[in-house]
Amino acid sequence: MNRYLLPLIAVVVLIPIFILGLESDPSQLPSQYIGKPAPDFDLPTLRDPEKRVSTANLSGEVSLVNIWATWCAGCRAEHDFLMQLNRDQVIPIYAINWRDKRPDAKNWLAQLGDPYVASGFDEDGRVGIDWGVYGAPETFLVNAEGYVLFRYPGPLDSVVWDREFAPRIAELKK
């Protein structure tokens, strides 16, 4: 047998594995909920502690669930884009205000505008954990049946939108 054959096979097998390893970003964790029902939540709304927003609100039409907080720089970065999505009536956006202070969060929306249909107020972060959130902002695409189709960790902008969200939403509306 040719003495170079074995090393050659090893290289051919290992190189693609290494390339995959180099290209995957270990800080981007895949969501465990893709293709599964959105995790249950039932939270008081940010504006009015008497009112509730829950998983039930999500069913009926395709929507976004945006995890945000006032301490999160990426959330500030994407806020204008969320405002634009809301202005253009692209998709209803629900929010989970994650580990925040109610006055800070209300103030933020008063100053920067409120792009959300409703914000759930997740003060102690338990809903965030139920959704497998590991950092804000994160945005989930939920279909009309309440299933999670996609999750994007990081701030949204038009580039991310056109690449990741728009095609998936177009697919649903076919």
Partner 1 sequence: MTKRLIIVLATLLYAHSAPAIDTGKAFDDPALQARYERLIAEVRCVTCQNQSIKDSNAFIAADLRREIQRLISEGKSDDEVTEFLVTRYGDFVLYRPRMSGKTLALWVAPFVFIFFAGFAIVRVVRHRMTLPVDDEITDGGSAQ
Positions in the binding site for partner 1 (CB under 8 A): 6, 26-27, 29-30, 32, 39, 99, 124-126, 128-135
**CB count in 10 Å sphere of residue 88:** 8
What is the phi/psi pair of residue 132, to 5°?
Answer: 70, 30
> CA-CA distance, 72 to 44, in Å (whole number)?
21
Q: How far is the CB of 34 from partner 1 (least distance, A)?
A: 11
Q: How far is the CB of 88 from partner 1 (least distance, A)?
A: 33
Q: How far is the CB of 104 from partner 1 (least distance, A)?
A: 15
DSSP code of residue 37: B
Cβ proximity to partner 1: between 51 and 126 the closer is: 126
From the CA atom positions of the chain, what is the Rg in Å? Answer: 20
Cβ proximity to partner 1: between 37 and 113 the closer is: 37
Q: How far is the CB of 118 from partner 1 (least distance, A)?
A: 23
Residues 6 or more apart whose Cβ sits within 8 Å of residue 167: none
Structure tokens at 18: 């290494």
Cβ proximity to partner 1: between 30 and 49 the closer is: 30
> CA-CA distance, 174 to 169, in Å (whole number)?
9
Cβ proximity to partner 1: between 115 and 128 the closer is: 128
Structure tokens at 123: 């003060």
Strands 118-122 vs 93-98: parallel, antiparallel or unpaired:
parallel
Q: How far is the CB of 125 from partner 1 (least distance, A)?
A: 5
Cβ proximity to partner 1: between 5 and 110 the closer is: 5
